[in-house]
Amino acid sequence: MDRIDFRSDTVSWPTPAMREAMAHARVGDDVYEEDPTVRRLEDLAAERVGKEAGLFVASGTMGNLAATLVHAGRGDEAILGRESHVFQWEAGGMASLGGVMPHTLENDDDGRMDLDAVEGAVREDDPHLPRTRLLLVENTFGGCGGTALPPEYFAAMREIAERHGLAVHLDGARLFNAAVAQGIDASKLTADVDSVTFCLSKGLCAPVGSVLCGSNEFVAEARRARKRLGGGMRQAGVLAAAGVIALESMISRLAEDHENARLLAEELSGLKGVRVEPSRVQTNIVHFELDASTGLTPEELGRRLQADYGIGMSTYPGNLCRAVTHYWLGKNEVRALVGAVGAILDNR
Ligand SMILES: *Cc1c(COP(=O)(O)O)cnc(C)c1O
**Ligand 1 pocket, mutate which of 65, 83, 85 (most atoms under 8 A from CB):** 85
258 and 327 in a single domain? The answer is: yes
pLDDT band at 318 (very low <50, low <70, confident <90, very high): confident
Model confidence at 347, pLDDT cuts 50, 70, 90, reads: confident
Q: At what angle do helices 298-309 and 331-346 cross, to 10 degrees?
A: 120
Question: Same domain for 81 and 214?
Answer: yes
Q: Are 230 and 69 in contact (CB under 8 A)?
A: no
Domain encompassing residue 290: 253-346
Among 7, 61, 87, 90, the mutation site with the greatest number of ligand 1 atoms within 8 A of its Cβ is: 61
pLDDT value of residue 67:
98
Ligand 1: which of 171, 175, 195, 211 to mutate, judged by most atoms within 8 Å of the beta carbon? Answer: 171
Q: Which residues contact 53 (CB under 8 A, 6 or more apart)?
A: 42, 46, 213, 214, 215, 216, 218, 219, 220
Together in a domain, 230 and 258: no
**Separation between Cα atoms, residue 240 and residue 206, nearest integer Å:** 9
Assess whether the C-beta atom of 302 lies below 6 angstroms from ligand 1. Answer: no
Q: Kindly state whether residues 66 and 169 are assigned to the same domain.
A: yes
Residue 6 within any structural domain of the chain: no
Residue 3 lies in a domain: no
Q: Are residues 132 and 53 in the same domain?
A: yes
Say if residue 163 is in the same domain as residue 305. no
Shared domain check, 212 and 95: yes
Determine if ligand 1 sits within 6 Å of the CB of residue 257.
no
Judgement on whether residues 285 and 201 belong to the same structural domain of the protein: no
Q: Is the CB of 173 under 6 A from ligand 1?
A: yes
Average pLDDT, the chain: 97
What is the Å distance from ligand 1's center to 138 Cα?
10
Whether 232 and 279 share a structural domain: no
Number of domains in the chain: 2
CA of 94 to the centre of ligand 1 (A): 14
Does residue 83's CB lie within 6 angstroms of at least one atom of ligand 1?
Answer: no
141 Cα nearest atom in ligand 1:
13
Region 149-155 average pLDDT: 98
Same domain, 239 and 271: no
- Mark which of 222, 250, 278 sits at the end of a domain: 250
Q: Is the pLDDT of residue 97 over 90?
A: yes
The CATH number of the domain holding residue 269 is: 3.90.1150.10
- Ligand 1 atom 3 nearest Cα: 60
Q: Of the candidates 208, 235, 250, which is a domain's last residue? A: 250
Whether residue 169 lies inside any domain: the answer is: yes
| CATH number of the domain encompassing residue 222 | 3.40.640.10
Q: Kindly tell me if the per-residue pLDDT of 121 is higher than 80.
A: yes
List pLDDT tens digits, range 274-291: 999 999 999 999 999 999
On whether the CB atoms of residues 311 and 336 are closer than 8 A, the answer is yes
Dist. CA 202 → ligand 1 center (Å) = 9
Are 174 and 244 members of one domain?
A: yes
Question: Which protein residue's CA is at the shortest distance from atom 5 of ligand 1?
Answer: 60
Average pLDDT over residues 203-228: 98
* 62 Cα nearest atom in ligand 1: 9
Predicted confidence (pLDDT) per residue in 242-269, tens digit: 999 999 999 999 999 999 999 999 999 9
pLDDT above 80: residue 348: no
Is 4 domain-assigned?
A: no
Between the alpha carbon of residue 343 and those of residues 130, 296, 335, 337, the distances in Å are 55, 13, 12, 10
Q: What pLDDT score does 289 carry?
A: 97
pLDDT digits (tens, 9 = 90+) for 8-44: 999 999 999 999 999 999 999 999 999 999 999 999 9
Question: Is the domain of 190 the same as that of 285?
Answer: no
pLDDT digits (tens, 9 = 90+) for 45-79: 999 999 999 999 999 999 999 999 999 999 999 99
Cβ 9 under 6 angstroms from ligand 1: no
Domain endpoint, select from 215, 232, 250: 250
> pLDDT tens digits for 332-345?
999 999 999 999 99
